[in-house]
Amino acid sequence: MSERTYDLIIKNGTCLLPHPTEARLIQAKADIAISGGRIEMIADSISEKALKTIDAKGLHVFPGVIDSQVHFREPGLEHKEDLETGTRAAVLGGVTTVFEMPNTNPSTTTKEAFEDKLNRAKNRCHSNYAFFMGGAHDNVDKIAELELLPHCSGVKIFMGSSTGTLLVEDDDTLEKILMQGHRRVIFHSEDEMRLRERKHIATEKADPHFHHVWRDTETAVNSTRRLLRLARKTGRKIHVLHVSTGDEMDMLKDAKDIATVEVLPQHLTLFAPDCYDKLGTYAQQNPPIREKHHMDRIWQAVLDGTVDVIGSDHAPHTKEEKNKPYPSSPSGVPGVQTLVPIMLNHVNNGKLPLERFVEMVTMNTARVFGIKNKGALRQGFDADVTIVDMKKQKTITNDWIASRCGWTPFDGMQVTGWPTHTIVGGKVVMENDQVVMPSQGKPVDFMDTN
């Protein structure tokens, strides 16, 4: 019998593998054999031949990292970012899959707009991709149908901080949306009515140090309290994005039956007033970066299991836009390329176990969104793999950022832990800070869609 030749073998790495009986990851030395875009074998040692071999000795091998919240601005705002530049940033940062948000121009609220995004993405994306459908006043009756479109990662609702049709601030419409369909609904949770009442603070002070004063703790807490009440009333599961307050974590900790939780590296790394002292409007995002006691409580929620997912909320704007005087400056910072290095640095600093971080960007993300065949190093699963050097020391710089905006709030930050290889569908697309095989991304499939 002739010896099998695989497409790719990753040898001698420390792999983050599923625990045999529990929903968690464990570290183990293993080889991984890949062919036809799938994981064919995981074993202590694989001696067969391969067209390409990666010696991962001294490296850690993860399931492909999934960033479930990015804004890539296409169509309509391509001067900030597009699907090609955004996914280039993703794979350079070790991210193999992204879920893109609906607040483009036009908003993604119809089947036609959704399919336009899929057509734009085809043969241009370096990472795998899926798109959220926006929930709005004018598509409530179609939500159940729209959420089942192939490659739809779910329905996203903006309770605050959006424009046009994507803003859904009233409980009646929110309840109607939650009554339609059955997939988990994703929320930006800020109370729009309170934001309007307090907008004068931002305009009168004209200083980014007051961003988290205008969009205060109560703005987030009121919204999330309303949201949890509506979720319980309708029996609909929800996912609360970029939770920024310790008060919300106290509520969400007791709501794990109905609500899953996302946090951002920004809220785990930066805090007020220091971030506004150093960065000004370049630290401005929604919900805002808050005082250190909120950051500490968010870290506690990461460690106690309240938090399910880490996403980047990658939201690029040009320097010209960010340099406008506050509050004319837009909210949002880029983050898809820095998610992995920032969090690996926290791991190396003893803030959290490596297994816990990887769970929140792989297996938990797959569970929350019902992703097919991703999120684990498992035989038969898609061969999306992130390889990192936990000991590699680098400095994050604006020059490294591939996003069209060309900046990061973490410019100049020294980190320990860096992605060395990004493997998408069995193809090595990034190696040692270079995109070596472009445009390999494919649309993501979900359990609840066709």
DSSP run (H or E) holding 434: strand 434-435
- Are residues 275 and 251 in contact, defined by beta-carbon separation less than 8 angstroms? no
Is 246 in contact with 294 (CB distance < 8 Å)? yes
For residue 399, indicate whether it is catalytic.
Answer: no
The whole-angstrom separation of Cα 106 and Cα 216 is 30
Residue identified by tokens 């609500």 is 259
349's tokens: 């600093």
Specify the DSSP class assigned to residue 305: T
- d(CA 372, CA 446) in angstroms, rounded, equals 5
Q: Which of 82, 191, 313, 389 is catalytic?
A: 313
DSSP class per residue in 77-137: -TTT--HHHHHHHHHHTTEEEEEE-S-SSS-S-SHHHHHHHHHHHTTT-SSEEEEEEEP-G
Residue reference for tokens 């007020």: 272
The span from the CA of 296 to the CA of 275, in Å, is 15
From CA 127, how far away is CA 403, in angstroms rounded? 14
Contact 227/174 with Cβ under 8 angstroms? yes
Q: Which residues contact 315 (CB under 8 A, 6 or more apart)?
A: 71, 285, 331, 332, 333, 334, 335
DSSP 8-state assignment for residue 244: -
Cis, peptide link before residue 106, omega less than 30° from 0:
yes
Report DSSP letters for 282-302, one per residue: GG--SSPP-BHHHHHHHHHHH
Instruction: Tell me if 100 sits within 8 A of 127, measured CB to CB.
Output: no
Instruction: Compute the distance between CA of residue 386 and CA of residue 64 in angstroms, rounded to an integer.
Output: 5
Burial class of residue 437, CB neighbours in 10 A (0-12, 13-18, 19+): middle
- SS3 of residue 147 by DSSP: coil
Residues carrying an active site annotation: 313
